[in-house]
Structure formats: structure tokens, C-alpha cells
Amino acid sequence: MTAPLPPCSILVVDDDPTTLDLIVESLTEEGYDVAKAADGREAAAMADRRSFDIVLTDLVMPGMSGLEVLAHFTEHHPEATVIVLTGYATIETAVEAMKRGAFDYLSKPAKLDEILMVLRRAQELKALRSENILLKSQLQDRYGFDKIIGESTAMQAVYHMIHRVANTDSTVLITGESGTGKELIANAIHFNSERRDRPIVPINCGAIPEELLESELFGHEKGSFTGALKERKGRFELAHQGTVFLDEIGDMSPKLQVKLLRFLQERQFERVGGSRTIQVDVRILAATHRDLESAVADGSFREDLYFRLNVIPLHVPSLRERHGDLPLLVHHFLREHCRNKDIQLKRISREALAAMEAYEWPGNVRELQNVIERLVILTECDEIKLEDLPPRMRREIPAPSPPPAVQLGDEGIDLKKTLEDLENRLILEALKKTGGVKNQAAKLLGLNRTTLIEKLKKKNLDLPAFGS
């Protein structure tokens, strides 16, 4: 079944009244929105007043020729698709029109089914182009670096680095804990680069067995191994003029590290089982949650490959390092999941948010996103409360015992120890009041946040796992 196409407006231009009326009448009966112009000047004037999807114009006309009509639309109305009608004596002129940007040409007298076939092809191409423009716009909107959530100093450094490196072809090594959003950063770099119109091809080097990963990267020839029933292109070929994102590069085997190093040096390779050298133009973005410097030191990762990949290092901070970003992320994911699931927007209570800020988030942003999705689905009322959170996030901060009344007896006191105990109790009380949020506790104590953190480290107080 032929897929329906969107409505289409057509301008027919011909100085022969009989031909003009016949085409207009026939296309109108086919359901098209059709307008007519008796010459090129009239067509140009009409196009300046309203837009047309397709222009069907005769080539040989007095005053303003079909080539001039084509030139006018190419310059002033490039969104219109131009099809030319020509007599047999002017085929060479029709070919010239194609070179200048005409979509196609039809010889006179053109049959209706021929006209309809060319019109449909023009519509399909136009619909495809519109779809591609929309897709690119959506991708740009999704992966624009200004769409990544976070206002912390650590995230501002990430934004700055993306902005600096996006329009270069330099290799970027993205590091950070699992769940921090390294693939999102890679996509932001690609879709803000000059390669945005070409594909970004991801591959998880840690999720594919070694014997299959080589074929995935470089492709294989028919019969090169059991199951290779036909020739297959690898990710590097598929990404030609685009970007390859090598995720979890630290998990790649030593054997494949050698082959990847050679590719990075020469930008060429042979498929598995092949002898023909293939050269491609790709940008490499790599990511890992591992400490590659330690892997180089223990011999599990090649030093020369590390230096090839680590041209521009970009560290994605953990959620614990992004002080102040958690409330922004919570409200963003609440809006996103409520909208996607067609649920009325839910609120989160102050106590629940404080508990989430006190949690360590070992799974980082990915864990937070999953928790919010679960809360959106399972919380029945329109406010998420402390008791709705997973048990691991509801750990109570121990209440400090009241400070003792200090009296100076005849035997004196240990002033240093007394002041130390009093300071410890006040710190615990401040943390209790603020739900473990250190920056708020520091304000209650009249301290800088970094000073409070240093005191906690030095005192080694027996506390639950407070957040930042």
C-alpha cells in the first residue's frame, strides 16, 4: 500500500493556454492544490506572494524563459521543487536545467500518469528532507551542550570543554564513574561539531566478546570465519566522515588494542579475512570508568594507545562532586517522566529532597533517573514524601545528645577536650537540622563548607553516609 503524502501546492507555468488549462484541471481532479501562471514573470510575482511546494514550468516561453524561472526559484524560493516541461527539440536545454538544479524534466506532450509519477517522487523527496531536518533539529535540541542539566562549578567546566573541543577533530577521552552521562557528553560533542550531519556510531567495547568485537569495528569478508555468510562493513566504515564513540575503551583486550592503535595512527585498516586496505575519515571519542593511568602502570592497557586517546581529557564529575545540582536534576527528571507517562506533575517534599541530597548516589545520575521514574510510577499522591523513598535513602541522622553544662570546679577542667566535645555535638546537631546537607549545616555554624568538611575528616566522627 502506497503511503499517503502531505498536501502539496503546485504552480503550473506555460504560455500555451490549452496545455496550461489541461494540466491544471487534471491535477486538480487528482486532489492537488493547483495555481497557474501564463508566463515566467507572472509565476515569479505569484511566488513572491505565496509559497509553492512544486513548480511545473515550460522551458520555452517569451519574455522570461523556463531557465530564468528556475533561476528565480533557486535564488528566492529554494524550498520549491522545480520540474521542467520541454519539447523534443529542446532536450539539451532540459539537461542544462537539470544541471542548474531542476528536479526532473518531462517531454511534451506529457501523459498524466507520467506527470503524476514525477510529482510523487518529488513529494517523497521533499517529505524525506523535511523529516531529516526535523530529526536533526530534535537531535540538536536533545544533545546541545546547553541542554545538559547542572549549574555547579564542576559542570560549568564540562560545558566549557565541550564548547572548546566540539568543532575540532581532536580525539577526546571522556572519563568518569559509571552512570555520570559520558555517552551524553559524547553526543553533545558530535552534534555541536561540523560532523553533525554525519552519523555518530557507538560501540561498547566491554559488552562484546573479543572475537566479535574485531568484526564489529573493522567488518569482515564473506567466509572469513564460521557464520560470516556475507560481507559486512564495520563501525569505522559506517561512520565515514562522522564520529565513532568507543565506550568502555578500558575493557578492550590487548590484541585489539594493537589493531586500534594502528588505525589511530594511519586511519586505515583491513576487514577480518580481507587484504584490501580501507581508509576512512572518522573522529574518535572514547570513554571509560577505569583509571587508565593505573591500567598502563599494571600493563593491562598500552601506554602508546593511552597517549593516542588522551589528546584532550574530559572528566565528567560524579553526582557527589556536583554540589547543588541534585535539586535541578530531581525536578528535571520529575517533569520528564511525568510528561512521558502522561501523569500530572508531582512535587517532592523538603524532607524527601534533603534525604536525597544526603545520599551518596553510587550509581550517579543514572541511579537518580531510575529512582525518580520509580517514584513517579509508584507514588499515588501528587507529592513524593520521605517515606516514599527507597529504604537506603531514609537513614536517620543520629540526634546529638545535649551539650553538658560546663562548670569550672576546684580541680579545673580539660579545656581543649571540653571545647572539642562541644564542637562535635554542635556539628552533629547542625547536620541533623539540615538533613545531612553540609553546605546548609556550615551556614548554621558560621563556617565555610570546605572548613566543615575538613573538620569532619579530621575528627573522623561516626556518622551515616552524608551527602555533599
Distance of CA 366 to the CA centre of its chain: 15
Task: Say whether both 155 and 294 belong to one domain.
Answer: yes
**Residue 464 is part of which domain span?**
399-468
User: Pairing relation of β-strands 33-37 and 9-13?
Assistant: parallel
Task: Say whether both 158 and 302 belong to one domain.
Answer: yes
**So what's the pLDDT on residue 461?**
66
Render pLDDT for 130-139 as a digit per residue (tens, 0 to 9).
Answer: 655 545 544 4
Task: Say whether both 39 and 186 belong to one domain.
Answer: no
Query: What gap in Å lies between CA 455 and CA 119, rounded to an integer?
Result: 76
Per cent of the chain over pLDDT 70 is: 88
Of 262, 286, 317, which marks where a domain is finished? 317
Mean pLDDT computed over 233-240: 90
Domain count, the chain: 4
Render pLDDT for 378-433 as a digit per residue (tens, 0 to 9).
Answer: 999 999 999 999 998 886 544 455 555 666 667 777 778 878 888 888 888 887 77
Give 413's contacts (C-beta < 8 A, 6+ positions apart).
Answer: 406
Task: Say whether both 62 and 88 belong to one domain.
Answer: yes
Task: Say whether both 313 and 234 belong to one domain.
Answer: yes
* CATH number for the domain that contains residue 406: 1.10.10.60
Please determine, for residue 467, whether its predicted confidence score (pLDDT) is greater than 50: no
456 assigned to some structural domain: yes
Task: Say whether both 117 and 240 belong to one domain.
Answer: no
**So what's the pLDDT on residue 463?**
58
8 A C-beta contact, residue 37 and residue 46: yes
Per cent of the chain over pLDDT 90 is: 45
Which own/partner contact pairs does 253-259 have at CB distance under 8 Å and 24+ positions apart?
253/210, 253/213, 254/300, 254/302, 255/210, 256/205, 256/210, 256/213, 256/214, 256/217, 257/301, 257/302, 257/305, 258/302, 259/214, 259/217, 259/218
8 A C-beta contact, residue 122 and residue 143: no
Task: Say whether both 338 and 281 belong to one domain.
Answer: no
Which secondary structure element, helix H or strand E, spans residue 315, and what is its range?
A: strand 312-315
8 A C-beta contact, residue 249 and residue 205: yes
Angle at 432 (CA atoms; ends 427, 433), nearest 5 degrees: 100
Render pLDDT for 435-462 as a digit per residue (tens, 0 to 9).
Answer: 677 777 888 888 887 788 778 877 776 5
Task: Say whether both 403 and 310 belong to one domain.
Answer: no
Q: Of 450, 324, 434, whose CA–CA distance to 426 is shortest?
A: 434
Burial group, residue 92, by CB count within 10 angstroms (0-12, 13-18, 19+): exposed
Helix-then-strand count for the chain, H and E: 18, 14
**So what's the pLDDT on residue 405?**
63
DSSP state of 345: P
Render pLDDT for 48-71 as a digit per residue (tens, 0 to 9).
Answer: 888 888 999 998 898 898 899 999
* CATH number for the domain that contains residue 375: 1.10.8.60
**So what's the pLDDT on residue 91?**
67
Highest mean pLDDT range out of 92-101, 143-152, 216-225, 441-450?
216-225
Cell, residue 23: 494540466
Of 287, 317, 347, which marks where a domain is finished? 317
Task: Say whether both 266 and 188 belong to one domain.
Answer: yes
Of 332, 365, 393, which marks where a domain is finished? 393
